Amino acid sequence: MRRFYGVSLETPLMLGTAQYPSPAVLEAAFRDSQASVATVSLRREAGKGQAFWQIIRSLGVHVLPNTAGCHSVQEAVTTAKMAREMFETNWIKLEVIGHADTLQPDPFGLLEATGVLAADGFEVFPYTTEDQVLAGRLLAAGAQVLMPWGSPIGSGLGLNNRYGLKMLRAAFPDVPMVIDAGLGLPSHATDAMELGFDAVLLNTAVAQAGDPAAMARAFGLAVQAGALARGADPMEPREMAVPSTPVMGKAWL
């Protein structure tokens, strides 16, 4: 499995910690999914106090703080610094939101904030689009991981621009990439892994399911299936039917 800033993950599933109906359900989702990373929004969860932080620590997974809700470089950088102090990690999922309706990243603010944080020793996981030019600039600014969106956050639409994501993966074959946002079904996660992405990150699809723990387990199995399929060198699609049964031995009448 690809390494993320020198860390090899036990499973290619990253799971958010917001919107669960109870702490017990949150813990069950992580247990049943076998997710290896928990993403935490400092801004969203700060009011929950030490009990929440203790739950996160007890999960026994890597913690990836994020700058969710930040709409400017200054907001994002300040939030990242607060998160590093609280969680004692240089990892940061960097979000700089540019569009209120789609929550699409602001490419200009994202690039600037990536440079600032990378220079300050952060290990940046930038939430970005499938734009190859922006991807190259983010890597040049110091990011060593890319997190392109599948579709808008919380939409459940899956991989909106499958072609663009496939081309992005092909353009930077050695860069660890995580599909982040918009995954609504386990099949979406499998699709992402089959395209060659190294992990997926999701939250709403599990937290707001009727049975979050069962959905979390389904996603955990889905990413494993996708990774196995990718590693098995799957067949390419064909325009015509090809019989699987040979004609040798067939009776000719």
The domain locations on the chain are 13-232
Answer yes or no: CATH 3.40.50.300 is held by domain 13-232: no
Q: pLDDT-based confidence at 5, cuts 50/70/90?
A: very high
49 vs 171, which has greater pLDDT? 171
Q: What's the CA gap between 213 and 211, in Å, rounded?
A: 6
Let me know if 93 is a catalytic residue: yes
Could you tell me the pTM of the whole model?
0.90
Please give the average per-residue pLDDT across 49-59, as a whole number: 79
* pLDDT confidence tier of residue 86, bands split at 50, 70 and 90: confident
Q: Which of 48, 93, 166, 250 is catalytic?
A: 93
Q: How far is 15 from 55, CA to CA, in rounded Å? A: 14
CA torsion 155→156→160→162, rounded to 10°?
150
Q: Is the pLDDT of residue 147 over 60?
A: yes
Q: Please give the pLDDT value at position 89.
A: 93
* Model confidence pLDDT, tens digit, residues 216-252: 999 999 999 999 999 998 888 888 888 777 666 666 6
Predicted pLDDT of residue 2: 79
Residue 3 has a pLDDT of: 92
Task: Please state, in angstroms and rounded to a whole number, the distance separating the CA atoms of residues 240 and 166.
Answer: 23
- Three-class SS state of 146: strand
Q: What's the pLDDT band for 53 if we cut at 50, 70, 90?
A: confident
**pLDDT band at 58; cut points 50, 70, 90:** confident
pLDDT tens, position by position, 163-215: 999 999 999 999 999 999 999 999 999 999 999 999 999 999 999 999 999 99
